[in-house]
Amino acid sequence: MSMQQQQQQPTSANLLGAMPASSMISIAFTAAVGTAVLFVAVAVARYNRKYRGLRLPPGPPVWPIVGNLFQVAFSGKLFIHYIRDLRREYGPILTLRMGVRTLVVISSAELVHEALVEKGPEFASRPAENTTRNIFSSNKFTVNSAVYGAEWRSLRRNMVSGMLSTSRLREFRPARLRAMDRFVARMRADAAASADGASVWVLRNARFAVFCILLDMTFGLLDLDEEHIVHIDAVLKRVLLAVGVRMDDYLPFLRPFFWRKQRLALAVRREQIDTLLPLIDRRRAILRDMQRSPPDPNVAAPFSYLDSLLDRTSRAAKAQTMSWSRSARS
């Protein structure tokens, strides 16, 4: 082939350059649709293979891929009311397939007792979490998210002994008294600020009082002003919203379309750490000072739930260090 013929032979770059923009967009769209169809076909095959042969309770007819997800989402009813209606047709135990997740719903006291008491260990673990909730739970390292096993039992035992036992609840009585004083003061302030001099926000103030109790029990810091407490409360509300249920929890292939939600969740996580870490550091410093003298009763409580967590972490670190030391000697 001569040099002139080689120069005249079209290349893929030349063809793409000569192609109209509308044709390129059409090709890209066709490729995207083809990829999506292939992904859906693979998802359907996996879905059918996963549930083939399982003896699940009855439930409403399912749609491909989404299962009953859209039926629930667009029913226009609260979930509990939707289940109440299904119960009339399918009985007290039924199955809902919500995208990639399967829910077995129990709505009778006898079945609940059988599942959670008689066969508790079989149903004690938790399903896989999405990426967002894994971030907030430190990869399922909290008592309400950990996989059932030795780690979960250790966290639960520590929470009961460090926060919920009868003796600990007696020790936390001052926290309840302080919260009640705040509750009464806020109610009086609401009444004074209202137009008729008598209207108050009972539920909002009661919730704030309970939050104050939990904050005292957890961190043992008694000198937090109301503005600081309100800020912590607002941050934790944003955390609850960030880990709420999303459509991509049930249809993971939609996750790329929720990138803004994911970015917002990461920002909330950073805000949560920035808000709570100073409280942890303060309590850690108070514990160091308590080895020399008791804390100021107006500044710090003699005990908090955080103390037990810090002690547990310290003991685990020491055990790991000793294990490494023995391994090095051997």
Name the CA dihedral angle for 265, 267, 269, 274, rounded to a multiple of 10 degrees. -160
Same domain? For 285 and 166 the reply is: yes
Residue 226 lies in a domain: yes
Same domain, 164 and 291: yes
Q: Are residues 232 and 90 in the same domain?
A: no
Residue 23 lies in a domain: no
The pLDDT, as a whole number, for residue 132 is 84
Q: What pTM value is reported for the model?
A: 0.74
156 and 63 co-located in one domain: no
Pair 94, 212: CB distance under 8 Å: no
Same domain, 166 and 286: yes
Report residue 294 CA to chain centroid gap: 37
Same domain flag for 303 and 236? yes
Is residue 305 within 8 Å of 217, Cβ to Cβ? yes
Are 156 and 291 found together in one domain?
yes
pLDDT of amino acid 137: 86
Residue 135 within any structural domain of the chain: no
How confident is the model at residue 209, as a pLDDT? Answer: 95
Q: Is residue 286 part of a domain?
A: yes
Q: Are residues 156 and 102 in the same domain?
A: no
45 assigned to some structural domain: no
Helix intervals (H) in 100-225: 109-113, 131-136, 150-159, 166-171, 173-193, 202-219
Residues 231 and 295 in one domain: yes
Q: Which range marks the domain in which residue 71 is found?
A: 54-124
Q: What local confidence, expressed as pLDDT, does residue 66 receive? A: 86
Note whether residue 31 is domain-resident.
Answer: no
Q: Which residue stretches of the chain have pLDDT < 50? A: 1-7, 12, 15-16
Query: Would you say how long the chain is, in residues?
Result: 330
Number of domains in the chain: 2
∠ CA 160-164-165 to the nearest 5 degrees?
80
Supply 236's token pair.
């934790």
Name the nearest CA neighbour of 40 among 61, 62, 65. Answer: 65
Contact yes or no for 39/47 (Cβ under 8 A): no
Same domain for 156 and 268, yes or no, is yes
Whole-number pLDDT of residue 15? 45
User: Does residue 215 lie within any of the structural domains?
Assistant: no
Q: Are both 94 and 242 inside the same structural domain? A: no
Instruction: Let me know: does 218 contact 305? Beta carbons within 8 Å.
Output: yes
Determine, yes or no, domain membership for 274. Answer: yes
Please tell me whether residues 58 and 154 are part of one structural domain. Answer: no
